[in-house]
Structure 1
Amino acid sequence: MTAVHVVLPGDIDDPANPSGGNAYDRHVCDGLAGLGWTVREHQVPGGWPRPGPPERAALGALLGGLPDGATVLLDGLVASTVPGVLVPHAARLRLVVLVHLPIEDDAERRALATATAVVATSEWTRRRLLERYPLAPGRVAVAPPGVEPAPAAPGTPGGGRLLCVAAVTPVKGHDVLADALAEVAELGWTCDWIGPLDRDPAFVDRVRRRLTDAGLTARVRLVGARSGADLADAYAAADLLVQPSRRETYGMVVTEALARGVPVLAADTGGLPATLGHAPGGDRPGLLVPPDDPGATAAALRRWLTDPGLRDRLRRAARQRRDTLTGWPVTVDRLATALKEATAA
């Protein structure tokens, strides 16, 4: 039987702190167990990726207690900032680092150098790591996220139910979206913002003031974190997902929307264009705009809201793209292959 120790952030199963990385980790741990692996989870509480001395010491003690030759899969949120903790164990453990979002600094360079293998969660992330660090291409695998099948969303005739699913932080671009929505205030729409509100309270306050100044507080709802059936209901009620991120390596919410045939308006940054992809006939199932550009975002929203033909085309492409998405078993198989290769190294 194949065994793997998985080192995870302590909040992986906290419904108040949902994230794509946590969802990915939970799916692959459960999926590996389903394939017959012995999966030993080690959740490490703390302020990752900015751990204090006690958290570093606890991680070191954890790794020190694992048997020689053990295969250890570490979430990059934990591993990428603590090369000094990893180095003493690199020769006797088979360390595999799972990188969701590159940090791109010297600490991450040194941390990844200790790894037997690195697994990136998108092709864009793999390319970025190989550009940034002296890693052998054969040591860097890719296991993109899967998506659960879901019923197609019906949509509304006017397309005015907008949805944004992301923690309200600067990198996710909610300030860009607020300014864009203000430019199309005369049109008929509502927009639900679903995601944690406690990651950057000062930023949330600034965005709330923008919405108040623009007279949009009755139309833009900051509803906080949602998961399970509540989140599924939000996708099912949506006409358009808006993802205005300044930086994104994959964007799992994009495939969550596409799994329901919901088109996407996204920033043309990082891995988002590849995640949005194309329908089999070559059509985009959504619109791409430059990142950090409220004017371009507003123009795309105006097109969506005022052009029924465009809405029909994008909805048709999204439903076709829906049939091309891969599920979590594919992700788990790719990760399992990387772990087996690390075990054999």
Structure 2
Amino acid sequence: MALAHLRFAAMPVVTVDATDAHALALRGWGRYTARLLGALPAAADGLQLNFVSRSTPGPEFVWEQVGLARAARRAGSAVLHAPNCFLPLRRSCPGVVTVHDLAFEAHPEDFGRLTALKFRAVAPRAARSAERIICVSRFTAEDLQRRYGIGPERVRVIPLAPALPRRGRRSAGSRPQDAGPYVLGVGDLRGKKDFACLVRAWRSLRREGLPHRLVLAGLDAGEGPRLRAAAGEEPLELTGYIEDADLDALLADADVLVHPSRYEGFGLVVVEAMARSTPVVAAEATVLPETGGRAALYFPPGDDRVLAERMRAALEDRDTREQLIAAGRERAGSLSWEATAAATVAVYRELV
């Protein structure tokens, strides 16, 4: 009888908050959640996955701390995974939380008052209460442990992979938007991204005859007017948020991606560009050397003179350019959502 009972015992239930995957405009957490959920079923043999989304009226905080915990309890969950940093503090089962970065600690000026208050009130408590913490990079894991005093025994590093849908090949004889070559930056226009450094470096190259436009693709979080003023009469384009197909085209057809950010938790756009054979120049800051490895050129954060030198090398030195493209393809190819999902399921299995 005991053997029969074990044979037909129900599989452990793992409840995952899928809310971010259904956002109208996928960014950051949402893109991570969507790609993870798509890859988890193939890796979760012997586990019953229970994907739930926000159904509680009122502020999202109510769903994150009450509705999500209730959904996990009703499903008889063995594990609850919050793929953002808002794991319910009170729950009926062990919790897994994914921490992407601690930008709200490092750059509080980039966050609204209420948003910063929520992050600072919940994220440290969620991390300290979690049975397992998934960090998307070694840098984020070390940042978390240092800031919150969390021991490494509960922390697992699971990197991301290129997540943006691809059209498969470059367009023949055409470029997105206006005609002509361009340098690309991708990310919200906010202080920590330091696109002002990129504008200065690009302007210095324009004075030396560089024909490229500068395209910055991302929501304007307040830096737009300052960047336009810094560009003067030079051809700067601020696209705002753009759909996946347009971002894919911009990345594939750019002559170089420059990522001057002073703080990132992973820097996914770096490997997105590499996957599309676009050379990358990035700030030698926080996680970016970890993410880009030897497949990018780096410059000291905020140093527009060195950035201009690196940009010129990536744009004009044939050998350097070919080496970056080849190394970038290899780096991007070493990452996959199948591997990310398998490592995530391994974390679940530690707790069931």
User: TM-score interval w.r.t. the shorter chain?
Assistant: 0.7 to 0.9
Following the alignment from structure 2 to structure 1, what is the Cα–Cα distance between the partners of residues 331 and 59?
47
Following the alignment from structure 1 to structure 2, what is the Cα–Cα distance between the partners of residues 184 and 291?
18
Match of 2:247 in 1: 231
User: Is the Cα–Cα contact under 8 Å of residues 240 and 263 in structure 1 kept in the other structure?
Assistant: yes
Structure with higher helix content = 2
TM-score, normalization: structure 2?
A: 0.78
Q: Which moved more, 1:248-257 or 1:55-64?
A: 55-64
User: Per the alignment, in what secondary structure is the counterpart of residue 242 of structure 2?
Assistant: coil
Question: What aligned pairs does 1:31-46 form with structure 2 within 5 A after superposition?
Answer: 31-35=39-43, 37-43=48-54
TM-score, normalization: structure 1?
A: 0.79
How far apart are residue 5 of structure 1 and its match?
Answer: 2.1
Q: State the identity %.
A: 28
* CA root-mean-square deviation: 2.9
Match of 1:136 in 2: 151
User: Is the Cα–Cα contact under 8 Å of residues 196 and 227 in structure 2 kept in the other structure?
Assistant: yes
Pair 1:331-2:347 in alignment? no
User: Per the alignment, in what secondary structure is the counterpart of residue 22 of structure 2?
Assistant: coil
Question: What aligned pairs does 1:1-345 form with structure 2 within 5 A after superposition?
Answer: 1-7=11-17, 12-16=21-25, 18-35=26-43, 37-43=48-54, 54-62=59-67, 63-67=69-73, 70-79=78-87, 86=89, 88-89=90-91, 92-102=92-102, 103-104=104-105, 108-147=123-162, 151=168, 160-186=181-207, 187-197=210-220, 200=221, 202-211=222-231, 213=232, 215-216=233-234, 219-278=235-294, 285-322=295-332, 324-343=333-352
How far apart are residue 33 of structure 1 and its match?
Answer: 3.2
How far apart are residue 196 of structure 1 and its match?
Answer: 2.0
How far apart are residue 54 of structure 1 and its match?
Answer: 4.5
Q: Aligned in 2, Cα 1:315/1:113: closer, same or farther, shift over 3 Å?
A: closer
Following the alignment from structure 2 to structure 1, what is the Cα–Cα distance between the partners of residues 351 and 70?
19
Deviations 1:152-199 (A, max 9, x none): 65999xx953221212221222222112211111312122222223xx
Following the alignment from structure 2 to structure 1, what is the Cα–Cα distance between the partners of residues 126 and 41?
27
Following the alignment from structure 1 to structure 2, what is the Cα–Cα distance between the partners of residues 240 and 152?
17
How far apart are residue 240 of structure 1 and its match?
Answer: 1.0
Q: Residue type matched to 1:42 in 2?
A: S
User: Per the alignment, in what secondary structure is the counterpart of residue 282 of structure 2?
Assistant: strand
How far apart are residue 257 of structure 1 and its match?
Answer: 1.1
How far apart are residue 66 of structure 1 and its match?
Answer: 3.3
User: Is the Cα–Cα contact under 8 Å of residues 96 and 342 in structure 1 kept in the other structure?
Assistant: no
Following the alignment from structure 2 to structure 1, what is the Cα–Cα distance between the partners of residues 55 and 59?
11
Following the alignment from structure 1 to structure 2, what is the Cα–Cα distance between the partners of residues 40 and 341?
20
Following the alignment from structure 2 to structure 1, what is the Cα–Cα distance between the partners of residues 131 and 260?
35
User: Per the alignment, in what secondary structure is the counterpart of residue 78 of structure 1?
Assistant: coil
How far apart are residue 258 of structure 1 and its match?
Answer: 1.0
Q: Residue type matched to 2:194 in 1?
A: G
Following the alignment from structure 2 to structure 1, what is the Cα–Cα distance between the partners of residues 150 and 144?
8
Q: Aligned in 2, Cα 1:11/1:95: closer, same or farther, shift over 3 Å?
A: closer
User: Is the Cα–Cα contact under 8 Å of residues 251 and 276 in structure 2 kept in the other structure?
Assistant: yes
Gaps of at least 5 residues in structure 2 are 1-10, 106-119, 174-179
Q: Aligned in 2, Cα 1:329/1:98: closer, same or farther, shift over 3 Å?
A: same
Following the alignment from structure 2 to structure 1, what is the Cα–Cα distance between the partners of residues 54 and 121?
25
How far apart are residue 221 of structure 1 and its match?
Answer: 1.5
Following the alignment from structure 1 to structure 2, what is the Cα–Cα distance between the partners of residues 140 and 253?
24
User: Is the Cα–Cα contact under 8 Å of residues 33 and 39 in structure 1 kept in the other structure?
Assistant: no
Deviations 1:285-316 (A, max 9, x none): 22101112222222322333443343233334
User: Is the Cα–Cα contact under 8 Å of residues 14 and 77 in structure 2 kept in the other structure?
Assistant: no
How far apart are residue 140 of structure 1 and its match?
Answer: 0.7
Q: Residue type matched to 1:340 in 2?
A: R
Q: Residue type matched to 1:127 in 2?
A: E
Gaps of at least 5 residues in structure 1 are 47-52, 80-84, 279-284
Q: Aligned in 2, Cα 1:312/1:3: closer, same or farther, shift over 3 Å?
A: same
User: Is the Cα–Cα contact under 8 Å of residues 85 and 126 in structure 2 kept in the other structure?
Assistant: no
Q: Residue type matched to 2:245 in 1?
A: A
Q: Residue type matched to 1:331 in 2?
A: T
